[in-house]
């Protein structure tokens, strides 16, 4: 397998693993939420269900962060983005070095 094909394969595999983890997270969140809702409504063994509401709110917030990481952050800031940023910074450094060399050469000829 060529290097480019291997990189594409690895990227696809990593994205599928991320999405699979996110879907698993969602299913567990849904099932636990459903279980807690049923337990509170049917069995009423808890006098203060507000604790469960706070726990679910926190868990939903963490799920939203996970969602943002998988579908927004990692989608745009992947290896290609890193390479583009590195190339841009290297080009800026090379331009600065050539400017300094030109400046030194112009000062030495005067």
pLDDT at 69 over 80: yes
Which of the pair, 63 or 48, is modelled with greater confidence?
Answer: 63
What's the mean per-residue pLDDT of the chain? 84
In the structure encoding, which two tokens stand for residue 59, read together?
């868990």
Task: State residue 110's pLDDT score.
Answer: 64
Structure tokens at 52: 């469960």
**Residue 47 has what pLDDT?**
65
Q: What residue spans define the domains of the chain?
A: 1-76, 78-110
pLDDT given at position 52: 77
Q: Which of 63, 70, 60 is nearest to 19 (CA)?
A: 70
pTM over 0.85: no
Q: Does residue 44 sit in helix, strand or coil?
A: coil
Tokens of 9: 């394969």
């Amino acid at each position: 397998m060529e290097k480019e094909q291997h990189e594409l394969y690895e990227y696809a595999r990593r994205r599928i693993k991320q999405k699979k983890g996110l879907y698993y997270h969602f299913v567990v969140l849904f099932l636990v939420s459903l279980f807690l809702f049923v337990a509170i409504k049917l069995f009423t063994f808890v006098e203060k269900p507000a604790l469960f509401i706070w726990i679910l709110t926190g868990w939903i917030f963490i799920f939203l962060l996970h969602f943002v990481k998988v579908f927004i952050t990692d989608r745009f800031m992947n290896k290609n983005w890193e390479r583009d940023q590195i190339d841009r910074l290297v080009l800026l450094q090379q331009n600065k070095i050539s400017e300094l060399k030109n400046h030194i050469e112009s000062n030495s000829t005067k």
